Amino acid sequence: MSTPTPTPEALSTPDTRKSLVGMPRPELAEFLRSIGVPDKEIRMRVSQLWQWIYVRGASDFSEMTNVARALHAKLDEHATLNRPEVVREQVSKDGTRKWVLRMPSKGPHDKGAEVECVYIPERDRGTLCVSSQVGCTLNCSFCHTGTQKLVRNLEAWEIVSQVVFARDRLGDYHGRTPPEGAFVPNDGGRYVSNIVFMGMGEPLYAYDEVRAAIGVLTDPDGMQFSKRKVTVSTSGVVPEIYRLGEDTGAALAISLHATNDALRDVLVPINKKYPIKELMKACADYSGASNARRITFEYVMLKGVNDSLAEARALTRLLRGVHAKINLIPFNPWPGTIYECSDWDQIERFSDVIFEAGYASPIRTPRGRDILAACGQLKSDTEKMRARARMMLEEQLALGTD
């Protein structure tokens, strides 16, 4: 590392340099222009930085041996290659890892967004579940994330930097060995092979940022994720489903959870704006949809609410004409929820009905339940801890403690 020892003044002034990690190409070009890189060099410099950041996993400008020394100094002065910081890491018995990450600050008034990111290793793949927002505004009644107060969209670089962070942490760069104890797929493939936008937030409410992030992730000269291995899960923001298909070609997952509007209005309130019929039309039209690229319909199993066999049959009728696979998600409880997970026998019977109608209907094995890392359980504990600290402080003030 070439970073000089910070002076006392430097220690008291927050680092306001921009991190280039995750920054889409046009912004990177703009940044280089702003620090005086001549126009005719910009393309080449962007390509060099791109290679170093995404292919080699560089974390310091001094590693960039083919970049002129004078430029190193300029880059150091105005930018960093900072990754998000780990606020907490939890490792489940099944190898799932949940990280609470704090993003590099965007400036003097920004403390850096805190989001969660989950890594799920399997025999043949490693899936990284990324967040697109801090919290979520949509309030689906069975989802913990929806109860988080503070909400903002993440920027593209904040989304991509979750992936760069995870690849770092797992040693997923050519020639770098994984850290001790890392539980990674054992087929010799990439440790992070699939990305799913199923963390905190509604990705299609952060549409422009998610689209730009997918551009960086699938860039053929960078991390080279295949579009088929990037899946965007949405509660059903219909207009953006059309755009997503046209702009990115990413795989699509729909959080359906009910087969009639009356129930879906309660479980997934955005249904009042975009009812099931409109949603299904958007799915049928999803550009590029074919048998090989089926849309995944997620269906959370809620005891006595949406798990009858009549509903299983209704589900198969609803999906007629759409290239679909169904993913049954056992409900993951969280403190204070009014819902319960369906009984296992009922989930299997429900799954049989769907299977007999000719659909694949894998039951999603709950992963990382012991660390609240499963779908819909993401809500930053640090926020809760802060709330608790505030409450204690208020109590103390009310008691007149000095």
Q: Which is nearer to ligand SAH, 79 or 136 (CB)?
A: 136
Rounded CA-CA distance 270/139 in Å is 9
> For residues 172 and 307, which CB has a smaller minimum distance to ligand SF4 in the complex?
307
Tokens of 233: 């899960």
| 230 contributes a contact to ligand SAH by CB under 6 A | no
Which residues are known catalytic residues? 116, 375
Nearest CA to 374 out of 337, 322, 320, 323 is that of 337
CA 18 and chain centroid, separation: 22
In the complex, what is the shortest distance from the CB of residue 72 to ligand SF4, in angstroms, rounded to a whole number?
41
Site for ligand SAH contains 350 (CB under 6 A):
no
**Cα(97)–Cα(367) distance, integer angstroms:** 10
* # of chain residues touching ligand SF4 (CB under 6 A): 12
Is residue 234 within the footprint of ligand SAH (CB under 6 A)?
yes
Cα–Cα dist 59/46, whole Å: 16
Burial class (CB in 10 A: 0-12, 13-18, 19+), 88: middle
Classify 325 as helix, strand or coil. Answer: strand
Compute the distance between CA of residue 234 and CA of residue 252 in angstroms, rounded to an integer. Answer: 8
| Residue 143 engages ligand SF4 in binding (rule: CB under 6 A) | yes
298 binds ligand SAH (CB under 6 A): yes
- The residue from 71, 103, 140, 256 that contacts ligand SF4 (CB under 6 A) is 140
Q: Among 84, 95, 126, 146, which residue sits at the site for ligand SF4 (rule: CB under 6 A)?
A: 146
CB of 196 to ligand SAH, least distance (A): 8
Smallest separation (angstroms) from ligand SAH to the CB of 375: 3
Is 332 a binder of ligand SAH (CB under 6 A)?
yes
Contact with ligand SF4 (CB under 6 A): which of 20, 115, 136, 354?
136
DSSP string, 253-317: EEE---SSHHHHHHHSGGGGTS-HHHHHHHHHH-TT-BTTBPEEEEEEEBTTTT--HHHHHHHHH
Site for ligand SF4 in 224-243 (CB under 6 A): 235
Among 162, 255, 306, 342, binds ligand SAH (CB under 6 A): 255
Q: What one-character DSSP code corresponds to residue 341?
A: B
Residues at the site binding ligand SF4, with contacts judged by CB under 6 A: 136, 138-140, 143, 145-146, 201-202, 235, 255, 376
